[in-house]
Amino acid sequence: MDSSSKPELVTEFPGIIRVYKDGHVERLIETGFVPPSTDPQTGGSSKDITMIPESNVSARLFLPKLTSPHQKLPLLVYFHGGAFCVSSPFTPKYNSYLNALVAEANVIAVSVNYRKAPEHPIPTAYEDSWAALQWVVSHCNSKGPEAWLNDHADFQRVFLGGESAGANIAHNLAIIAGNPEFGLNVQLRGIALVHPFFWGSDPIGSEALMDPGKKSVLDRVWPFICPSNPDNNDPRFNPVAMDAPSLVGLGCTRVLVCVAEKDGVRDRGRLYFEALGRSGWMGVVEIMETEGEDHGFHLSDLESEKAKDLIKRLAAFYNGDMPCSL
């Protein structure tokens, strides 16, 4: 092909995504799809649903193996990672992880497929996720459109959770839920933030010593996904920024923050934990750090002991069995 006829590349995150001048987007990872099924290892079931047809917001529901037909379980509304621009609940990685987590925690989970940047820039991911949460909560009187939620979700025990960008979404939804003007019909019990994707304009902690290439990528993500406000101190990306909503208003009573020692955004998770603890918020916040591991390590090796430890800690959180100390 003549080089002049090749589409012009305007943005690239190597190994993740390419965007061309003609608007074509090429996603380089996590594009696979596995169908919903009964998981042979855990006995749990999954199925796909469309929540909001007009915006095509969908989800994969996960139900653990039941011990009785009318069993009520904690409800996890889950948001996957992928820097707001790649992946989905239907990839092999997230499907396997949710199967394992749901089996260990004995919860029913709704894994939300929000729309991705750059075709759908921020705030679309937040708007889709909030709409999905409202749809889920519409089942609290057992009269919603989805039988699994009507029959098995305990709306006294509703949790939000996610990895990376999904953890960011969970935090931001909890902030909205804590605002009486936008509040839900149910009280969120807690949020579990695994390797939350927070950042900021000014380096903190070990970030000043970070590999310049890695730091450059992190600095570029928010302007890429949120061209309407490309400032890395956007309160949605930096929850401790000067103009961020006070954490005292977080709309839940328990928070678990999980960080990994080698993760470039580790110090942001630690800072969030510390800031929440001293904010005057009336809940309980805990932190778990996995030594020797990097961002999202557990998703690619569910059989490792450290991944199993993380899943067990999350399961304990969703079942209200939090340790008193680390």
Catalytic residue numbers, as ranges: 164, 263, 295
d(CA 16, CA 129): 23
Q: Which residues of 90-109 are buried (b: 16+ CB within 10 A; e: fewer)?
A: bbebbbbbbbbbbbbbbbbb
DSSP code string of 38-79? B-TTT--EEEEEEEETTTTEEEEEEEPPPSSTT--EEEEEEE
Cα-to-chain-centroid distance, residue 70? 29
The answer for residues whose C-beta is within 8 angstroms of residue 87's C-beta and 6 or more apart is: 29, 30, 80, 81, 93, 94
Annotate 128-147 with b (16+ C-beta within 10 A) or e (fewer).
bbbbbbebbbebbeeebebe
> What is the Cα–Cα distance from 265 to 81, expressed in whole angstroms?
14
